[in-house]
Structure formats: C-alpha cells, structure tokens
A and B are shown apart, each in its own frame.
Chain A
Amino acid sequence: MAELNRQPLDPRSVTAGRLGGWTFTAILFAVIVGGALAALIGTGAPLVSWLASGAIALLIFGPLALASQLGPAVRYRTTWIRLDADGLEYEHGWIFRHRISVPRSRIQHTDVTQGPYERRFGLASLVVYTAGTEHASIAIEGLSHETALAFRDALLARDPQAGAPDGVGDAI
C-alpha cells in the first residue's frame, strides 16, 4: 500500500496566498474606500467625518492586510500532510490545532483544484470527500501540484498483491 512521508506545504504557497489575500483586500479597499470618498466629496463633509471614515477604514483594512501578509506564512509553518498504513493525516491551525485522520477506505472521491494564482506558482488544492457529516469534505490548500497529484494517486492506488484491496467493504 502506497505510503507518503510527512510533507509540508509548498513554500511558494506563502507568496501565492499573500497575492490572493492582497488581491481580495485591494478589491474590497477599492469598492469601500471609493464609495466612501465619493460620498464624502459629494456631500462636502466636514473634517470630523473624514477623520472618522479614515479610522473606520484603518480598523477594517489594518487587520485584513495583516492577515493577508501573515496568514499564509503561519499556514505554511503549521500545516503538514502524510499518508501511512492507517490513512491520510492532515494537521493545520495555529491557535486551534486540528489533526485530522481519514482512513483510506472512507474516501469517496477526490478533487485536485487549481485557481489562477495556484497555477501560476505550480500549486494545487487536494479535496477529499467522505460520508461523514462535519468533515464531509476536507480541503488541503497550498500543496505543490506534484504533491497533490502524488497523494491523490496514492489514495486511489490498489495494491495488486493483497487479496483484499484497501477498500474492504463499503465505506458506510
């Protein structure tokens, strides 16, 4: 049965994640700040309104920008994935750490997805679907495309030697 050692995310996921975060922040910034500016200029608002609007903008976009910059780095440092005899194991999270284990035979189907930034950096997300309720789908973002494909292939692999294949019985 194919096994894959514990692997971190692709370091390029930090850059890709930051780009994604900053793009989102920039679009939101353009929409909200643009609207606010138009309203402020249009109504000839006093200085107090300008200051208040600026403070609110800082409150919204300060944390968002910080999260865009630091989030992907934290994710890169805290996430790993591996495949051993007992199934797929995936750990993530910084303040709340989660280690999730999915037995191979419980996996119903898998997706490998690539967004525009992910493709630009050779990254991909692996999505594993189970019959569970809370963890009906588990998405692992920020893997290199090769790693995602390798895990996908290893998860689906049948061992020709074994009499009973990995998926003994039904998943449910």
Chain B
Amino acid sequence: MPSDRDAAATGDAGWRRLHPLTLLFALGSRLYGLRGLVLPAGFAVVVSHRRTADGGWSDLDDWLVGPAALLLLFELGQYFTLAYRFDRHEIVIKRGLIWKRVRHIPYARIQNIELVQHAAHRLAGVAVVRLDTGTGAGAEGELSVLSLDAVAELREAVRRGRRDDPSAAAAPAEPEVVTPPGVLVSLDVRELLLHGLLTSRGWVVIAAALGALWQVDLDAWGVRRFLPSGEGVLGSLRQATSTLAVEIALIAVGAALLFRVLSAVWSAIKHFDFSLTARGDELFQSYGLLTRVGRTIPRPRIQKLTISEAPLMRLFRRASLTVDTAASVAERQSQQASGGSHVLVPIVPSTRVSGLIHEVYPTGGDTGAGVDGLAWQGVDPRALTRLLRVRLVVAVIMTAASAPTAHWWALAIGLTAASVITLQAWLAVRFTSFAWSGDTIWFRSGAWTRQVSLVRAARVQVVSLEQSALDRRWGMAGLRVDTAGAASGGHHVHIRWLPADVADALYARLRHAAAP
C-alpha cells in the first residue's frame, strides 16, 4: 500500500495541481455568488469617486480593499493547497492549509465522471470535473478547473485503475431469481376505485380544485350563479335540522363521504391501467390516464421493500408495496426529497404479498411460508412496564401542573391522557417485532397502519446498536439498519426495546451477514 505521508508533506512525487486559470474561475464564481453585495459596492465606489473631485482614493476604497485582499488570499490558498495524485487503486485529493483534508476515492467506487463546461470554460479549454461515488452525503471529489489534457489523463487513470481492480468489474454476485417475463400485477378500475376509497387521498383533489378555482375569475365568468353559496347550504341545513350538533355532524359526514368519492376518482385516474411487469432483471411499471408514467426499476437496485396495511385496507385484506432504490447519479439530483422511494404496487390482495416479494426482492431463506410464516420475535416482555412507568410519570406531572388553572377538569384530562397513553404503549409494544430469515432482516411495526420492511443483508449499509441511559437501566437496546435511498419519514428498520442480549446477537449476526 503506497503511503502518501511523505509525499503529502513535501508536495512532490506525482502530485498534480489544478489548472492555473483556476484562480480566475474561482474568483469569478465567488464574485458571481456575492453579486448581491458586489454590484452595489461597485456602484458605490463609482459614485464616491465622482464626489472626490481629483478621482483619487476615497474612504470607501479603503473599506473595500481589505475584503478584496482577503478573498484573493483565500482563493490563492485554496489553489496552492489543492493537489491530487493517482495511486494504484485510488485517486487521492488533498486540500486545505489550516484544516487539512486528504480524501481517498477508490477507482472501483467511481460511478460517474461528470464534466461541466460553461462558455468561459470552453474558451479557455478547461473543465470542471466531478467524481461521483454515489454516497448518500452527496459531496465527493470536485476538481475545478482542469485542462482538457488533465481530464483525459484522469479518465485514463480511472479506466486503468478499474481494469486492474477486479472488484470494479465483478457483477453483483447474488442468487438472483430470474423469472420469465410476465405481468406480475395488473389493476382494473374496480380495484383502483377501492384503493382510492380505502386510502382517502381526497385532499389531493380538493387542493387541486381550490388551486384551479383560485386561478379562475368566478365573477367575470358568471360561474358563481351556478355554485351553491356557503350561507345557502347552511341555511337549508338549519331549516331541515333542529340543533347545531346535528348540523355539524351532517356536514362532517358529508365532507368525509365527498372526500372518499373524490379519492376514488383520483386513484382511478392516476393509476389507470396499472401494470407491473418483470423483464429479466428489470421491473417495469406503467400507469396513468392523464399523465402516463413508465418507470423501470432494476431489481438489483432495490434496497428495501415495505409492505403497508392501512386500517381500511386491512379490512378488505389489501396491502400496498413500496420500494427504495439506489438512484443513479443523474436521477439523484431530481429526487432529493423522496430519496429513491417509489410505490411499487398501490393495492394488492394480502394473499399475494408473499409471492410478490419473492418475485420482486428474492430473499434466500424464504421457504415460501410467507410473511406470517416467519419466526417473528417480539420486544422485551418488560417493555410495556417500562413505557408505562415513564409515560405515566409524565402524565401525572402534567396533570399536577395544569391543576391550578384547570381545577377538576385536570383530573379528567389526566385520566383520559393516562388511558390513551396506556393503550398506545400497549399497541406499540404488541405490534413491534422482527424476524431473521437467513439473509434478510424483517421489521414489523404499527398498530393502525401496519408496516413490514425487509432488507437483505447484501443491501445493508450500516448497522448500529443503540443504548440510551434508560435502555441500560432496563437491560435493553435498540438496533437500526441504514440503507441507501431511504426517504425521510418512511418506514425504516429501527427495532427498539429489545433485550440487550438479543440486540447484541442480532447486531453481530447482521454485521457478519452484511460483510461479503
């Protein structure tokens, strides 16, 4: 392993610098970034020169010289401290004078070499080069700017490095089950209407309608005459019913029904003619009446699969499936918010879920017994006691605190809070469990919307064992599995309240299975 210790100190032996024009481009982009400050400052300088009749230095110039000199010094420092070198297996980039950083990027990990050339870059024959390794952090190696010769050398070095390194060429060595091409799921309108009714996305339609109404000038078009007015609806309700409570209840029920119906229509339009097809190693999704979506999901890219059963969905024995994928470099920029999370199938009979998992995200140890056939393990039996003890203490304190102002109501509020807390804790503990099926970790949680997430060991990025002071007191621990492309707010494998020894064993097993 060649070491850069000596070379880094002396700055010779294979270290390359950026193109000298870097300084110019860096200053240019810095000034452009500060244009909100620079333009007024320049204007002020011109004006102040007009004022001093001799056209010499004004006070303002003295104020501006300092920051400008600092900026120049900073960019000079950046330029002279940044250097890169090609080692046998990796590219090394060092930078910084006060805060030094040496970054090693293995050639095998470089997914993409991105070249950016603005007009000025093209004129000067230079380019900005971004090396992308596909980390979740985003920032990788940026070399700004390099001459085109240096770019060619860099590409060649990366190509040579990848060729010499068999790990770069090796295909994912996983027992992929390649199913013959065929339709995995297709949904008819009836099923889509059911999906809309059960998931209630009516607010999407309401929001869209309100947005449209906002755009339309109702009075000018004379549309308002045909719309029932709010007072009119309320007035006719008043005539028909006696008490306010009944009126409110009727309006609420009516609104809820309207929402469901709108939701059903929305779903039928959005997912119209939905089909999920398998073509070798790729899944193909196609749906939509107005906006037709065709999405290819390479199966090896699927990181995590989540099965969700909302309360009403459960009543009709339906579930929906979501997958997280590792987005490619280009995709990643356009989908920052959602990570790589996609709805794979909006609605599917629960009985078909196990079969679908097997076709979409094949797991090694899965013997076909299905999700319910796995050896599910619950949390620590003392978890409920622990949760209740902590939460009830909080409830008592809050009741006591509100007592002076709320008087006897405080007791009622306290009792209600205590029973809600008890119920919630019981449900949380009752419905949290995990299973290990040879090469896959399964995590189930949620009492109302029940969710199961599964991650194959080969897709585990980081395993962490977590223990708070309270956990230690109770001899418990939590386990978290980090994957690529996970959306914030999604269902993640985070198993809490495990007995410490169980968590330890699971952690050891997972980290061993994740290492190839």
Interface residues of A (CB under 8 A from B): 85-87, 89, 95-106, 108-116, 119, 129-138, 149, 152-153, 156-158, 164-172
Contacts and interface: CB of A to CB of B under 8 A. Distances in A.
B486 A133 contact: yes
Given A101-B462, A109-B140, 7 more contacts: A86-B514, A98-B467, A109-B109, A109-B141, A131-B136, A132-B482, A164-B166
B483 A156 contact: no
B134 A168 contact: no
Contact of A149 (B5, B465, B514): B5
Contacts of B483: 132-133
Contact of A108 (B100, B133, B467): B133
Contacts of A97: 465-468, 472
Contacts of B101: 111-114
19 contacts: A97-B466, A99-B507, A100-B463, A100-B465, A101-B510, A101-B511, A101-B514, A105-B515, A109-B103, A112-B101, A115-B98, A119-B100, A134-B482, A135-B136, A136-B135, A156-B1, A156-B89, A164-B173, A169-B170
B299 interface: no
B321 interface: no
Interface in B161-189: 165-168, 170-174
B464 A99 contact: yes
A5 B276 CA distance: 49
A86 B461 contact: no
Contact of B103 (A86, A111, A119, A165): A111
* Ranked 7 nearest A-B pairs via Cβ: A136-B136, A132-B461, A167-B167, A132-B482, A169-B172, A136-B137, A172-B326
A98 B466 contact: yes
Contacts of B104: 109-111, 152, 156
Nearest to A113: B101
B145 to A, nearest CB: 21
B469 interface: yes
B135 A129 contact: yes
A115 B136 contact: no
A106 B462 contact: yes
Interface of B: 1, 3, 5, 89-90, 96, 98-106, 108-109, 133-138, 140-141, 165-168, 170-174, 301, 303, 326, 339, 458-469, 472, 480, 482-486, 488, 492, 507, 510-512, 514-516
Contacts of B480: 134
Nearest to B511: A101
A133 B466 contact: no
> Which has the most chain B C-beta neighbours within 10 Å: A103, A113, A114?
A103
Nearest to B487: A133
A87 B511 contact: yes
A165 B102 contact: no
A131 B484 contact: yes
A165 to B, nearest CB: 4
A85 B484 contact: no
Contacts of B326: 131, 172
Contacts of B459: 172
Contacts of B515: 85-87, 103-105
Nearest to B98: A116
A154 B98 CA distance: 26
B165 A132 contact: no
A78 to B, nearest CB: 12
B135 A137 contact: yes
Contacts of A85: 515
A114 B464 contact: no
Contact of A106 (B461, B485, B507): B461
B134 A172 contact: yes
Contact of A96 (B96, B463, B468): B468
Contacts of B103: 109-111
A12 to B, nearest CB: 17
B234 to A, nearest CB: 49
A168 B173 contact: yes
A50 to B, nearest CB: 33
